[in-house]
Amino acid sequence: MSDFMRELNYGQGVSLARSSVNDQYLALARTVRHHLQSRWMATLAKQWDQQAKTVSYLSAEYLLGRQLDNSILASDLDTIVEEGLGQLGISLSRLRAQEIEPGLGNGGLGRLAACFIDSLATMSVPCVGYGIRYEYGIFRQTFVDGWQVEHSDPWLQLGNPWEFPHPENAVTVQFGGYTEAVTEDDGVERTRWVGDWDVLGVPYNYMVPGYRNGRVNTLRLWSAKATRAFNLEVFNAGDYAEAVRNQTFAEKISMVLYPEDSTPQGKELRLQQQYFFVACSLRDFIDQVLPAQFDLHQLPERVIFQLNDTHPVIAVPELMRILVDDKGFEWDQAWAITQQCFAYTCHTLLPEALEVWPVELLGRLLPRHLEIIYRINDEFLDAVREAYPGDEARLRRMSIVSEGAVKMAYLATVAGSKVNGVAELHSQLLRDKVLPDFSEYWPDKFTNVTNGVTPRRFVRLANKNLSALITDAIGPGWVTDLDRLSELEPFADDAAFRERFRTVKKTCKTSLAKHLLARNDVVLPTDAMLDVMVKRLHEYKRQTLKVLHIVTLYQQIRSGELNADDVTPRVFVFGAKAAPGYRMAKQIIGLINAVGETVNSDPLVKGRLTVVFPPNYNVTLAEKLIPAADLSEQISLAGKEASGTGNMKLALNGALTIGTDDGANVEIRKLVGDENFFLFGLLEPEVEALFASGYTPASYYESDPQLRAAIDLIASGTFSGGDRMVFEPVVSNLLGDDRFLALADYRSYIDAQDRVDKAYADQDAWSRSAILNVARSGFFSSDRAMRNYIDRIWHTPPVLDD
């Protein structure tokens, strides 16, 4: 460990005897980093030499997780590091725990981006991920009396050894101002954008190592700085706050992920963020990744800019502005290039999640871009008018600009070479319900790429015991070829293998219990079914339906309808954050915690029902929780979840799914088999039919005694100290609105949970089903997803050794 000691002594400036845990962690991280750097330089040199087409992945989120373990694994340094530190008397697990996870994502969107760039590096495909280096990231969640409280997340406070700042490559980004017509020396009239104010985007590079293949790609995150940060004259005059006003104003752009946007100021800041990072990224790719004097007419041969949802779509008019205004291209030339350089992934079916920007705000903040959008829209509508003469209603439906707002999903669809959904059902609904006019106009533009997750982090790292069991059975090749998990199928019928599988699951539960005890002082029973629902808190994901199940069981035991000894012991584990401005989601979190407090303190159900809701669910906790899960709750209303990736991670780790036919659940069920999946709920056409016929949630309440009893128990104040008003908003919402049909699906869900209990009672048969879930989930690798993107959209071959 001479390299480690050198870093500790000369990098941190301390001896081993006087070093802190943080000193040791930083020294180890830099040692591992150095090991990767030569591979990084070699990868960049090879990509430069071959001038290979590159995926430029534009994403507002990257939920990376801790970097130390992933880098050690990718570098095949596991044994060396463990043994070397052991000789020095240092615990690797203690150094792991010192690393603060970067809070650069909110949920599935950011984790997906991290999985994708991991896979591209493992597949030797050139990729630059672009995003924002949020100083505080997503908020840190705590609970005060059961209610969510948000705190800033100072993840950079103790230093970040994984980043490489390059202020010399900073990009200037302007905002506001006006446009004017200017005549160039050649007599051609062009438009010039004169900005009001500007900021600097400073790039921070991160290495993205492939799995033991010698390849390292780049993630480049942008931090906003003032172009003129400090006014000495004003400072000397005594106005200290004014002296640094520019710095404060600029740095707010990259301060937090998704600033609360219920105010006009919040909306403007979000648009500033989005334009800031795409303007930096496009300029960086053109100036730093491409060779000098590159002919931008050939740009589609060198890059595909993948738009990860609507957040980066402002990149479309920005590229047009660069080509037309800065590079002197004719409009038609620039538009032909732009349409080949972008592809768009839609991650939602919810209308409110498809971003729109007020024309007034866009015109004030980005006046030139609004002009470009207007022209794109005019020319697009001319083409539609020619294809559908006299159909003015169609023109109104398809217009990018409508009712004083710009529809970013429409702009992405018009500009993109391809538009994809992220699961079979989602892609079909995207074509049929969300963008039907566009899919009719461009039927070949739409495709599907079902999401995937990286097996390196979520099986090989997170579940080392299961990984060892799999490798012992079929060899190590599954880590980069997850289809090979199908070779496990015969082992499902091997009694000895099933026993070993149950031992692995028990070990994972014990590990989770130790982790939660240390992390949150939570005592987790390890001899019960672990029933897990971890996902962003949103009404369509229907955490309320899960709560109604818990309350139903609790009420049945209290009333004597069920004998506690006859109830399958369950630990219900939740993990979720609610957006700071989402009041109903916060109410639901309060209800979950209140139900948990009551249930957990009632001796009548002790040992049978336990509710656990650790705050601040993140990737690090997911890596402990997912391997331990028995039951995966994927219960969104059919037709609302785009895909989901938690469902994939849980299935790969041997959890059985209870779920609706929604998102990627459909594909999971088809692959693992109906007999290994607990299906319930309305199908998407039935959902539409119910809404069309007039949905009255109160009628379900009146006709189902168990449902009525559960809701009445909540309304009575049983979980709120007798105060009936505390959860009245949740009760009123369920009975009067229930726009995601929790009450309509309640009976089907409860019946499915009864089937779960019966199946879990036969542990040997349950283990067989769990093994088959693992064996049949190889399709859900992000490596497969990347192959689909490459074949159907990007056409970016790997850069291989000569």
Instruction: Tell me which of 46, 140, 649, 776 is the catalytic residue.
Output: 649
Q: Note whether 599 and 554 are within 8 A (CB).
A: yes
Helices 495-520 and 464-474: crossing angle in degrees, nearest 10, is 160
Active site residue 541: yes
Active site residue 536: yes
User: Pick the catalytic residue: 454, 598, 645, 660?
Assistant: 645
**Ranges assigned E (strand) in 694-750:** none
Rounded Cα–Cα distance for residues 790 and 587 (Å): 43
Q: How does 557-594 read in b/e, with b if 16+ C-beta sit within 10 Å?
A: bbeeebebeebbebbbbbbbbbbbebebbbbbbbbbbb
Q: What does DSSP assign to residue 409?
A: H
Please identify which of the residues 270, 541, 542, 586 carries the catalytic annotation.
541
Burial class (CB in 10 A: 0-12, 13-18, 19+), 130: buried
CB 258 within 8 A of CB 106: yes
Give the residue from 294, 160, 173, 262 showing the smallest Cα distance to 222. 173
Are the beta carbons of 182 and 192 closer than 8 angstroms? yes
Read off the tokens for 542: 């229907």
To the query of whether residue 347 is one of the catalytic residues in this protein, the response is yes
Angle (nearest 5°) at CA 162 between 159 and 163: 85
Say which of 30, 39, 457, 535 is annotated catalytic: 535
Q: Residue 471: which of 379, 481, 427, 395 has the closest Cα?
A: 481
User: Is 645 part of the annotated catalytic residue set?
Assistant: yes
Contact (Cβ atoms closer than 8 angstroms) between residue 306 and residue 55: yes
291 sits in the region (left: phi over 0; alpha: psi -120 to 50; else beta) called beta
* CB 454 within 8 Å of CB 119: yes
Strand duo 140-144 + 570-575: pairing: unpaired
Q: Looking at 536, 538, 570, 776, which residue is catalytic?
A: 536
Region of residue 175 (left: phi > 0; alpha: psi -120 to 50; beta: else): beta
Which of 35, 111, 347, 457 is an active site residue? 347
Instruction: Please state at what angle helix 367-387 crosses helix 331-341, rounded to 10 degrees.
Output: 90
3-state secondary structure of 550: helix
99-128 burial, b at 16+ Cβ within 10 Å, e below that, comes to bbbbbbbbbbbbbbbbbbbbbbbbbbbbbb
Helix axes 21-50, 78-87, angle to 10 degrees: 150
Q: Specify the DSSP class assigned to residue 781.
A: B
Q: Which two tokens stand for residue 796?
A: 């970016």
Distances (CA, A) of 704 to 687, 701, 751: 19, 6, 13
β-pairing, 171-175 vs 197-209, is antiparallel
C-alpha to C-alpha distance for 574 and 633, rounded to whole angstroms: 10
| Helix (H) or strand (E) run with residue 406 in it | strand 405-407
Give CA–CA dist 243/230, Å, rounded: 6
- Reading the block at residue 249, the tokens are 């104003």
Distance CA 325, CA 252 (A): 29
Nearest residue to 255 via CA among 104, 146, 379? 104
Mind telling me the catalytic residues? 347, 535-536, 541, 645, 649
